[in-house]
């Protein structure tokens, strides 16, 4: 799966046939608008899609594997680099958006040394700047610290709904980083390098995220989902769905409850990152021998539940080699029962209680866990969050077994196909229950959409992405898609004041799309 970002010879290489005609119109509009905006043609287009997460929610920043897939919606950046020389010591970035009223164009004279990003303002060009900053770090590694970036003229067209749980941010940062690499002369861009710099870049704009979105955006291959692992290093590989009859489709339904991670980070997303990191430290302090330190890892705050998982069983092997025979699913089952026995307080733990168990002062605790990204909470629900993470990591492995173990595949007859689809769907439903009850990242609207869909024929329905609003994903057999859509229209969407554009985007039938790509207009 590693290797360079592919150069698309035609839009056929990027989009599934059903999307092709609308995409051809969109791309030719982008390229002609580039010409009229800047007075010359674009040299290339960098493209990176949004993603929907099938299963593995809120566990990527705990470094457990996930199963997303790219969707058709993507960020396009048309680029040219032949600009007039600029002010001494700076290069110029001119960036415009096809939706110019919503996203006004900007011009920046950026000093060679550094890219300033004011993450306190929610400015659309910040995402480009975060990709620019990440790419420059990589370019400096390759070409030396006094590398002089080139000026760029950019026209963007993004169709991933923002704040909708489909990773608009990752699509934008990944395509931006890709565009900067190519604008500065890189003939090929390695997918792993691009993903890693997109992950780091996204954290620069204030969201303490995991690496799922950027991996799915960069690595996905058309027709397949993507199994992404983060440790010991980032790996991604395509996973195909067995052919069933009726064919399985994934429906994505917007709740239209916007969940803006910038605003709610301190009580939602970033708080969960802190709770999971604290849970790892707490479990380590109680269940591993005194003085055991968790290995520093790629998690946002440097330690993770996965790190605890590995340390615990590595140390156990020295003690009793009984545990060495455990499979990962068995280890996860054991961790869930250990968690229940160790983290007994339902109402959660105060900073004082945690600091006492870790043997540090509250100031030291705050310094390590709650200074980087501010959180607002008196108590941290360590057990609930850890139980969700371990159980969700287990569901991902069970889902993968159903997809990849031929013994688990349905026999040709339809009865077994139904049973098979039901067992896939059941895992998705259990994820939704755990997100709602243990992780508390759902909302009534999403619960509603899921209930309506299940009644109308969906095998499995759940929130996708960060939650607290945004999108839901549903595993629906092809012959039930219209029934589910009608039920949503009647019982949910008809009660909202939706614009025609919103009505259009409310429900998307998602086919597994391709990841990042480059295109050089002839
Ligand atoms: P969304 O909200 O779809 O961008 C976020 C995180 C992911 C992952 C999911 C929950 C960002 C940029 N991405 O996805 O890393 O943690 O939530 O599984 O915050
Ligand atoms: Mg996002």
**Ligand 1 center–CA 187 separation, angstroms:** 30
436 CB under 6 A from ligand 1? no
Specify whether the CB–CB gap between 45 and 288 falls below 8 A. Answer: no
Which protein residue's CA is at the shortest distance from atom 17 of ligand 1? Answer: 466
pLDDT in tens, 319-341: 776 666 899 999 999 999 999 99
Which protein residue's CA is at the shortest distance from atom 5 of ligand 1? Answer: 466
Ligand nearest to the CA of residue 466, numbered in listed order: 1
Residue 509: per-residue pLDDT:
87
58 CB under 6 A from ligand 1? yes
Residue 321: per-residue pLDDT:
64
Alpha helices (H) in 320-408, listed in sequence order: 328-342, 351-358, 362-369, 382-404
261 CB under 6 A from ligand 1? yes
For every residue of 249-284, DSSP letters joined together read: EEEEEE------HHHHTTTSHHHHHHHHHHHHHHHH
Give, to the nearest 10 degrees, the angle between helix 125-143 and helix 168-183. Answer: 40
Q: 268 φ, ψ to 5°?
A: -125, -100
Nearest atom of ligand 1 to the alpha carbon of 58: 18
Nearest atom of ligand 1 to the alpha carbon of 59: 18
Residue 46: per-residue pLDDT:
98
> What is the DSSP secondary structure assignment for residue 119, as one 8-state letter?
T
Nearest atom of ligand 1 to the alpha carbon of 170: 12
CA atoms within 13 A on the CB side of 303: 21
pLDDT in tens, 51-61: 999 999 999 99
Ligand nearest to the CA of residue 51, numbered in listed order: 1
Q: Is the pTM of this model over 0.90?
A: yes
- Per-residue pLDDT, averaged over 267-271, amounts to 92
Residue 513: per-residue pLDDT:
86
Q: Which of 71, 213, 306 to mutate to test the pocket of ligand 1 (most atoms within 8 A of CB)?
A: 213
Residue 257: per-residue pLDDT:
93
**Ligand 2 center–CA 467 separation, angstroms:** 11
pLDDT at 302 over 70: yes
Which protein residue's CA is at the shortest distance from atom 12 of ligand 1? Answer: 209
Question: pLDDT higher for 285 or 502?
Answer: 285
**Ligand 1 center–CA 269 separation, angstroms:** 8
- Per-residue pLDDT, averaged over 436-454, amounts to 98
Q: How confident is the model at residue 255 (pLDDT cuts 50, 70, 90)?
A: very high
72 CB under 6 A from ligand 1? no
Please list all protein residues whose beta carbon sits less than 5 angstroms from ligand 2, which is an ion. Answer: 167, 169
pLDDT at 68 over 90: yes
Asked whether the CA dihedral 295, 299, 301, 306 is positive or negative, the reply is: negative
Q: 55 φ, ψ to 5°?
A: -155, 150
Residue 55's nearest CA partner among 455, 459, 457 is 459
Place of tokens 């287990």: 394
* Least confident segment among 150-164, 334-348, 403-417: 403-417
pLDDT at 204 over 80: no
- Per-residue pLDDT, averaged over 174-182, amounts to 97
- d(CA 477, CA 421) in angstroms, rounded, equals 8
**Ligand 2 center–CA 163 separation, angstroms:** 6
Q: 212 φ, ψ to 5°?
A: -65, -45
- Per-residue pLDDT, averaged over 376-388, amounts to 97
57 CB under 6 A from ligand 1? yes
- Per-residue pLDDT, averaged over 1-13, amounts to 91
pLDDT at 206 over 80: no
> What is the DSSP secondary structure assignment for residue 150, as one 8-state letter?
P
**Ligand 2 center–CA 354 separation, angstroms:** 30
**Ligand 1 center–CA 56 separation, angstroms:** 11
Which protein residue's CA is at the shortest distance from atom 6 of ligand 1? Answer: 209
Ligand nearest to the CA of residue 473, numbered in listed order: 1
Q: 401 φ, ψ to 5°?
A: -65, -40
- Per-residue pLDDT, averaged over 464-475, amounts to 94
Residue 323: per-residue pLDDT:
63
Q: Which two tokens stand for residue 186?
A: 């890189």
Q: Which two tokens stand for residue 427?
A: 């895992």
Residue 190's nearest CA partner among 3, 371, 63, 417 is 3
Annotated catalytic residues are 213
pLDDT at 144 over 80: yes
Q: Which whole-number Å values give the CA distances from 355 to 163, 342, 360, 369, in the listed order?
A: 35, 16, 5, 11
pLDDT at 274 over 80: yes
Q: Is 176 helix (H, G, I), strand (E, B) or coil?
A: helix
Specify whether the CB–CB gap between 205 and 19 falls below 8 A. Answer: no
299 CB under 6 A from ligand 1? no
**Ligand 2 center–CA 445 separation, angstroms:** 20
Q: Which range, 80-84, 121-125, 145-149, is most confident?
A: 145-149
Residue 406: per-residue pLDDT:
87
Residue 490's nearest CA partner among 474, 466, 506 is 506
Nearest atom of ligand 1 to the alpha carbon of 202: 12
**Ligand 2 center–CA 84 separation, angstroms:** 35
| Rg, the chain, Cα only | 23
As to burial, measured by CB atoms within 10 angstroms (0-12 exposed, 13-18 middle, 19+ buried), residue 101 is: exposed
203 CB under 6 A from ligand 1? no
- d(CA 200, CA 209) in angstroms, rounded, equals 9
- d(CA 473, CA 450) in angstroms, rounded, equals 9
- d(CA 52, CA 122) in angstroms, rounded, equals 24
- d(CA 254, CA 256) in angstroms, rounded, equals 5
pLDDT at 306 over 80: yes
**Ligand 2 center–CA 466 separation, angstroms:** 8
434 CB under 6 A from ligand 1? no
186 CB under 6 A from ligand 1? no
214 CB under 6 A from ligand 1? no
Q: Which of 65, 167, 171 to mutate to test the pocket of ligand 1 (most atoms within 8 A of CB)?
A: 167
Residue 322: per-residue pLDDT:
64
- Per-residue pLDDT, averaged over 289-307, amounts to 95
Which protein residue's CA is at the shortest distance from atom 19 of ligand 1? Answer: 209
Residue 70's nearest CA partner among 110, 115, 119, 14 is 14
Q: How confident is the model at residue 248 (pLDDT cuts 50, 70, 90)?
A: confident
Q: Quickly count: other Cβ atoms within 10 Å of residue 34's Cβ.
A: 25
Residue 415: per-residue pLDDT:
76
pLDDT in tens, 17-46: 888 999 999 999 999 999 999 999 999 999
- d(CA 257, CA 129) in angstroms, rounded, equals 27
* Least confident segment among 139-143, 411-415, 430-434, 501-505: 411-415
CA atoms within 13 A on the CB side of 492: 24
210 CB under 6 A from ligand 1? yes
């Amino acid at each position: 799966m590693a290797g360079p970002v592919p150069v698309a010879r035609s839009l056929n290489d990027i989009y599934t046939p059903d999307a092709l005609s609308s995409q051809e119109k969109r791309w030719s509009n982008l390229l002609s608008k580039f010409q009229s905006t800047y007075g010359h043609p674009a040299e290339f287009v960098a493209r990176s899609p949004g993603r929907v997460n099938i299963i593995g929610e809120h566990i990527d920043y705990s470094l457990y594997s996930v199963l997303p897939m790219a969707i058709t919606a993507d960020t396009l950046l048309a680029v040219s680099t032949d600009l007039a020389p600029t002010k001494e010591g700076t290069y110029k970035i001119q960036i415009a958006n096809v939706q110019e009223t919503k996203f006004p164009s900007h011009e920046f004279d950026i000093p060679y040394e550094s890219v300033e990003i004011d993450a306190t303002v929610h400015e659309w060009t910040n995402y480009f700047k975060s990709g620019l900053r990440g790419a420059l770090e990589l370019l400096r590694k390759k070409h030396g610290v006094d590398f002089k970036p080139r000026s760029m003229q950019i026209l963007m067209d993004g169709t991933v709904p923002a704040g909708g749980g489909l990773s608009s941010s990752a699509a934008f940062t990944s395509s931006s980083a890709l565009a900067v690499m190519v604008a500065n002369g890189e003939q090929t861009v390695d997918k792993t390098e691009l993903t890693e710099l997109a992950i780091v870049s996204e954290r620069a704009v204030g969201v303490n995220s995991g690496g799922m979105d950027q991996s799915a955006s960069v690595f996905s291959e058309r027709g397949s989902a993507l199994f992404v692992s983060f440790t010991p290093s980032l790996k991604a590989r395509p996973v195909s769905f067995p052919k069933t009859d009726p064919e399985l489709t994934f429906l994505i339904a917007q709740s239209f409850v916007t969940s803006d991670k910038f605003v709610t980070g301190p009580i939602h997303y970033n708080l969960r990152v802190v709770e999971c990191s604290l849970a790892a430290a707490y479990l380590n302090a109680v269940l591993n021998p005194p003085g055991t330190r968790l290995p520093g890892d790629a998690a946002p705050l440097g330690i993770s539940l996965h790190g605890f998982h590995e340390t615990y069983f590595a140390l156990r092997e020295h003690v009793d080699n009984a545990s060495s025979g455990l499979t990962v699913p068995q280890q996860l089952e054991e961790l869930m029962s250990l968690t229940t026995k160790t983290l007994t307080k339902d109402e959660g733990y105060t900073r004082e209680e945690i600091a006492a168990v870790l043997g540090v002062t509250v100031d030291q605790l705050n310094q390590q866990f709650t200074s980087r990204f501010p959180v607002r909470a008196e108590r941290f629900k360590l057990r609930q969050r850890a139980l969700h993470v371990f159980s969700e990591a287990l569901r991902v492995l069970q889902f993968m077994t159903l997809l990849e173990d031929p013994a688990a595949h349905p026999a040709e007859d339809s009865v077994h196909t139904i049973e098979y689809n039901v067992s896939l769907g059941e895992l998705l439903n259990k994820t939704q229950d755990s997100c709602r009850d243990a992780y508390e990242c759902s909302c009534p609207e999403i619960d509603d959409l899921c209930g309506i869909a299940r009644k109308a024929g969906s095998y499995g329905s759940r929130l996708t992405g960060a939650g607290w609003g945004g999108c839901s994903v549903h595993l629906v057999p092809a012959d039930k898609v219209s029934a589910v859509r009608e039920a949503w229209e009647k019982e949910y969407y008809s009660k909202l004041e939706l614009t025609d554009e919103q009505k259009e985007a409310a429900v998307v039938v998602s086919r597994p799309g391709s990841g990042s790509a480059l295109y050089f207009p002839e």
